[in-house]
Amino acid sequence: MGRARTKSSKVKILGASSAAANDAKSGPSVSALLEKAQELIVQCDYELAERFVRRVLEREPRNAEAREMLGVAQLEQGELEAAKSTFQSLLPPNTTAPPTPPPSAHLYLAQLSDDDPHIALQHYQAAVDILVAQLKGKDRASDPAALTDDETEMRRNVVRALIGMVEIWMDPQYELCDDPTAEHTCENLLNTALQVDPGNAEALQTLASVRLSQQRPDDAKACLEQAWTAWKDLDLDDPRLPLIPTRLALVKLFLELELYTPALLVLQGVMASDDQEVEAWYLEGWCFFLMAEEAREKGEPLDGLAWEELARDARDCLETCQMLHVNEEYPDAPLLNHAKELIEKLEALGIHQSPPGEDEEDGEDWEDADGSDEDEDVEMS
pLDDT per position as a tens digit, 209-256: 999 999 999 999 999 999 999 999 999 999 889 999 999 999 999 999
Of all residues in the chain, what percent carry a pLDDT higher than 90?
A: 78
What's the pLDDT score for residue 239? 87
Lowest average pLDDT, out of 88-97, 138-147, 275-284, 302-311, goes to 138-147
Helices (DSSP H) in 77-181: which residue ranges? 80-88, 103-111, 117-135, 149-170
Buried b / exposed e along 243-263 (16+ C-beta atoms within 10 A)? ebbbbbbbbbbbbebebbbbb
Of all residues in the chain, what percent carry a pLDDT higher than 70?
A: 84
What's the pLDDT score for residue 7? 44
The neighbour count for residue 104, using CB atoms within 10 Å, is: 23
What's the pLDDT score for residue 197? 93
Asked whether the predicted pLDDT for residue 319 surpasses 50, the reply is yes
SS3 assignment, position 231:
coil
What's the pLDDT score for residue 18? 43
Cα 295 to Cα 305: distance, rounded to the nearest angstrom = 8
The neighbour count for residue 381, using CB atoms within 10 Å, is: 6
pLDDT per position as a tens digit, 326-361: 999 999 999 999 999 999 999 999 999 988 766 554
Cα 150 to Cα 135: distance, rounded to the nearest angstrom = 10
Cα 317 to Cα 187: distance, rounded to the nearest angstrom = 37
pTM confidence score:
0.79
Bridge partners (DSSP) listed for residue 305: 302
C-alpha dist (Å) from residue 269 to 148, 241, 263, 274: 28, 10, 10, 9
C-alpha dist (Å) from residue 272 to 269, 285, 286: 5, 16, 19
